[in-house]
Structure 1
Amino acid sequence: MPLPDDLAADQVRDRQDRAVAAARSAARELGLTVTEPRVLYDAFSVVVHLHPAPVVARVPTVLPRTVVADPAGQSAQQLRELDVTAWLAERGHPVVAPSPLVPRKPVRRDGFSMTFWQYVEQVPTEPSTGLDDPERIEGAAGLHAALRDYPGELRFLMPLDASIPDGLAQLEQRPDLLDTDGLRRARSEWALIEPLTSPEGFAARFPGLDVHPVHGDAPTYNVIVTPEGPLCSDFEHVMRGPVEWDLVSAGPAARATYDAAAARLGLRPLDERLLRVMEAARTLQLLACLPMAPQLPGLAGWLRPMVEQWQASPPLRTVVPESGD
């Protein structure tokens, strides 16, 4: 089935308005006073300060269709995120914590599933991956050390799920987003990575490399700077997996900084081969987002440099050969 046309600006504004209205309605039902909701951010989620309440709602609006088709699964992952961040906050780790003013669970309203967080004052900063900031890299190691003891159940390599092959299948209809050669390579690399998405398959390919709870996205990037210091945020993909997942695209200096911090904290150093595999896996995750470009104007342009860099790089089979090779 062809992908829909790009949303017009008024359609994007309407989606934002509906997300804000749903958050305001849900918050008021939970007993919060909301008179002047203020949108802080709008991309894959609408993030809205429910002013004057010291609460922020995060309302995912642009999602893979596999997630849309599984609302129970979406809510379960949101609950994991709330539980992990609450556990970290209770132990004094610097994270954006769930709001204590409402029950700690996702709320579904008007087709949106949302979570509620403590509002924190932000210090304006330039956008950065954080991979050139030793403090943020050391913070990622500190987060990994803290998460080792998390007792709850988490999915293994959670983002590497049915959304990857489904997204690639949708790209058959959009050669303007990924050409035929690129799609063929993406499917070939998914065939190499998919067996690693179970704990057993991963252990067979990378014996001796431990896995434990990790941020699941980019802890050096997902940082909110406050007057009191930086707070790690956006644990939407929190999962069990190798720490390399959280450090993709780290250059030699960043890797050395992480390894030094890891040694002090009793963590293993980064494995260069596994880091390359996780970088390929993260690339596939982003490629599978391309079918959502019509819903998020600007996404295709933002991802284009990544796609071009990936297409110019050596194929993954040079790192992870086919089974039996």
Structure 2
Amino acid sequence: MPGFLTPDQLAARTSRARDAAVAAGRALGLTVTDARVLHDVFSVVVHLAPSPVVVRVPTVLPSYADPDTQAERQRRELDVVGRLAREGTPVIPPSPLVPAEPVRRDGFSMTLWQYVEQDSGAEPDYVRNCGLVAGLHAALRAYPGQLPFLSAAEPEFVTDSFAVLADRPDLLPAADLDRARREWEILEPVVRSRAGFEAAFPGIDLQPIHGDAPAANIVTTEDGELYSDFELVTYGPAEWDLAGLGPEGEAAYNAAARRAGTRELDERVLRLVNAVGACRAVACLALAPQLPLLVEAVEPALDSWRAAPFAGGLSDLSAGG
């Protein structure tokens, strides 16, 4: 049974990612003399100071996420965000100093972004931010490229993680795993394919969406708020981007949608995405050996899931049931 990475091993991983980011930046002609790690959870985020460039280096990944798989996802992100930036949507754009392509270095696949000075004193207002997401969705509708259906649900990751957790009762009790697997049997076919979703939820329109809680990924700067972190950008129902944000956030989104003349959130689809989000939270425990802080971080979500109706109360999702 693999153990948890030690603090020294975690620090070494961060150092390797930082060094790879610096080497990649210098190889692209950037001046880097004072690189600083800004963030280190699932990715190591490095400011290549004094160049106004930030590198995001994913480090905590499922076993099947090889560099080619990562690069494919990263190209989608760079293309979507680059187009939004050119159209005037307030986003953190790809760095204009280097090609908008993933860079592979020392076993990592990374992306380079424009550095922005954040307002460190700003307290995030997630309810207000949910209203801003309606504007992001309006901008994303014009994206002409092809995006996979609900890849942000990561069904392969969930299924594989449950198999890992079957051998890790220290991470998840057997009773919890049994419930999660039974829920996933109901939910997976609906998020695995567009046809499965449309059979269960006929008439729900789909569009390009952020994929990863955009209300929690809005950065406050001196020049205003910027949308960021489109790593999981995908095609699906708008409700996916509001998963886990609660009734107040949903109401803020609906109010903004009414003002814009666009669709409000569907209550049954919200129940679906919240239930899928809960299964993904359970699945994240399989990554805890790589990122030990997940054990404590995921616990509140697990408590909420245990208290929630089985599969969000959607026991029959076949053919719109």
Shorter-chain TM range is over 0.9
Counterpart of 1:245?
240
Of the structure 1 ranges 174-183 and 216-225, higher mean CA displacement relative to structure 2 is found in: 174-183
**Residues 213-239 of structure 1: CA distance to partner in whole angstroms, max 9, x if unpaired?**
011011110011111111110000000
**Does residue 94 of structure 2 align to residue 98 of structure 1?**
yes
Counterpart of 2:186?
192
**Residues 291-316 of structure 1: CA distance to partner in whole angstroms, max 9, x if unpaired?**
11111121110101111210121101
Shift of 1:317: 6.6
* Aligned residue pair count: 318
Alpha-carbon distance in structure 2 between the residues aligned to 1:248 and 1:36 = 38
**Residues 213-272 of structure 1: CA distance to partner in whole angstroms, max 9, x if unpaired?**
011011110011111111110000000011111101233332222112112223211011
Q: Which residue of the other structure, out of 4, 21, 24, is the alignment partner of 2:22?
A: 24
Normalised by the size of structure 2, how large is the TM-score?
A: 0.95
**Does residue 109 of structure 2 align to residue 116 of structure 1?**
no
**Residues 181-216 of structure 1: CA distance to partner in whole angstroms, max 9, x if unpaired?**
111111111111111121111111000100100110
Counterpart of 1:169?
163
Counterpart of 2:286?
291
Q: Which residue of the other structure, out of 255, 266, 284, is the alignment partner of 1:271?
A: 266
Q: Contact 2:130 / 2:253 at 8 angstroms: preserved in 1?
A: yes
Counterpart of 2:226?
231
**Does residue 90 of structure 2 align to residue 82 of structure 1?**
no
Normalised by the size of structure 1, how large is the TM-score?
A: 0.94
Alpha-carbon distance in structure 1 between the residues aligned to 2:121 and 2:135 = 22
**Does residue 150 of structure 2 align to residue 157 of structure 1?**
yes
Of the structure 1 ranges 220-229 and 242-251, higher mean CA displacement relative to structure 2 is found in: 242-251
Measured on the aligned residues, the alpha-carbon RMSD in Å equals: 1.5
Counterpart of 1:304?
299
1:18 aligned partner, one-letter code: R
Alpha-carbon distance in structure 1 between the residues aligned to 2:69 and 2:293 = 28
**Does residue 59 of structure 2 align to residue 66 of structure 1?**
no
1:145 aligned partner, one-letter code: A
Q: Contact 2:211 / 2:241 at 8 angstroms: preserved in 1?
A: yes
